[in-house]
Amino acid sequence: MKNKLELSEQNYRYLFENASDAMWVHDLKGNILDGNKAFAKLTGHTREELIGMNILSFLISEKSRYTAREVRRRLLAGEEIEQPYEQRFIKKGGTEGVMQMASSPVVIDGEVRGFQHVARDVTEEKQLQENMRFYVQQITRAQEDERKRMSRELHDEVAPHLLLVIQRLDAITSNPRPRLPEPFKARLEDLHTRVTGALETVRHFAQDLRPRIIDDLGLVAALEWMAENVSKDYAIDTQVKVLGQEQTLPDEVKLLLFRIAQEALNNVRRHAAASKACVTLEFDEGRVVLTIRDNGKGFELPQRMGDLAGIGKLGLAGMQERAQLIRGKLTIHSEMGIGTTVTVEAPI
Ligand SMILES: Nc1ncnc2c1ncn2[C@@H]1O[C@H](COP(=O)(O)OP(=O)(O)OP(=O)(O)O)[C@@H](O)[C@H]1O
Ligand SMILES: [Mg+2]
C-alpha cells in the first residue's frame, strides 16, 4: 500500500514539475515553499531564487495587493471566489505581466496552512486585446468623422443647390408672363417633382449618416427622433423612456449608445415582426443603462457572438464591440414568441 502511495506521489510530482501552467505553494505569510518550472519561467527567477521569496514581491500595485488580500480573506472564510481571476505581477527585471490564476487553500490536519496557485501568463493576449480595442476605436472614430463630414457636405452643399433649383422652377412655372406652352410647363413640373424627391432623399441620407440632432440637442432627443421615425415609417409603436436624473455624457459615449440603439432598432424592424418597441435610458449612480426591447418573435442566441460575425451578420457583434469601446457590457436576452431585449450598461 505504502509503495502504491509513493508511486502516486511520484506521479503527482512529475505532473507538478512538468505542467505547462505555473504552480506554486506558499505559507500563510506568503513565503514561497515550492514552485514548478513553469512558475520559474513566468516570474523570470530561478527555482532556487524563488524558494523563500515572499509573494508580495511580485505584487507591487495597490490593486494587485488588494486582490490578493481579498482572495485570501474569502478562501479563509470558506467563501466562493470567481476562478480563474486575473492578477498583475512584476517579473524579474521589473516588467509587468498579467496572469490568469486559480487559488485554493492547503489544508493539513483540518487546518489551513498555506495556499496553492495555478497560473498562466496572459500578458501577450491582454496586450493583443488592448491593441485590438485601440484599433477598433480608431476605426470607429474615423468612420464617425467621415460620416459627419459626408453628412455636413450633403446638408450644407448639396441640399441648398437642389433647393435653389426648386425655387427657380417655382418662379418660372408660377410666373404668368411669358405664358409657357403646356407641354413645356408639364415638363418643368415633372422636373420639380423629381428634384423635390431628390432633396428629400439627400436630407434623409444626411440625417441617417449623422443625425445633427445628437450634436445639437443630445442623446435623448436623438433617440426620440429615431423612435418617431420607426413608429411612422414601419408602424412599430416605439417609445422612449428616461429614468433617473439625466446626466451629460461624453460625446463618444453619446454617439456609441446612439449607434447601438440604431442597430438594435434596425434589427427590430428587419427581423422581429414586432408591434411595439421601447428604448429606455436609465441614469444611475456612476452608470448609464440603455435598453432596447421589442415584443417580436425572438430568436435563438448563438453560442458566441463571433459565430454570427463569421457568417456576415455584423449587427450584434458590432454592438458588442461598440459597448466595449466605452468599457460597457452588452447583454442580449431573447425568448421565442415573447421578444428580445438588448441591454448596454456603461460606466459614466
Ligand atoms: N430583435 C430581434 N428579433 C428577432 N431576431 C433578431 C433580433 N435581433 C437579431 N435577430 C436575429 O439575430 C440575427 C443576427 O443579427 P445581426 O444584427 O447580428 O445580423 P443581421 O441583422 O442579420 O445582419 P446585419 O445587422 O449585419 O445587417 C439576425 O439575423 C436575426 O435572425
Ligand atoms: Mg442587424
Residue 320 has pLDDT above 70, yes or no: yes
CA distance 69 to 127: 26
491582454: which residue's cell?
126
**All residues at 6 or more sequence positions from 251 whose CB lies less than 8 Å from its CB, including other chains:** none
Superfamily covering domain 2-121: PAS domain (3.30.450.20)
Q: Could you say which DSSP state residue 271 is in? A: I
What spacing in Å lies between the alpha carbon of 271 and ligand 1's midpoint?
A: 6
Report the atom number in ligand 1 closest to the C-alpha of 274: 3
Mean pLDDT over the full length of the chain? 92
What spacing in Å lies between the alpha carbon of 22 and ligand 2's midpoint?
A: 43
CA distance 89 to 250: 33
For strand 32-35 and strand 22-27, is the pairing parallel, antiparallel, or unpaired? Answer: antiparallel
Domain topology for 213-348: Heat Shock Protein 90 (3.30.565)
Q: Could you say which DSSP state residue 54 is in? A: B
What spacing in Å lies between the alpha carbon of 226 and ligand 1's midpoint?
A: 19
pTM as predicted: 0.73
Percent of the chain scored above 70 by pLDDT? 99
Ligand 1 atom 9 nearest Cα = 267
- At residue 116, the 3 state secondary structure works out as strand
Per-residue pLDDT tens for 269-309? 999 999 999 999 999 989 999 999 999 999 999 888 778 87
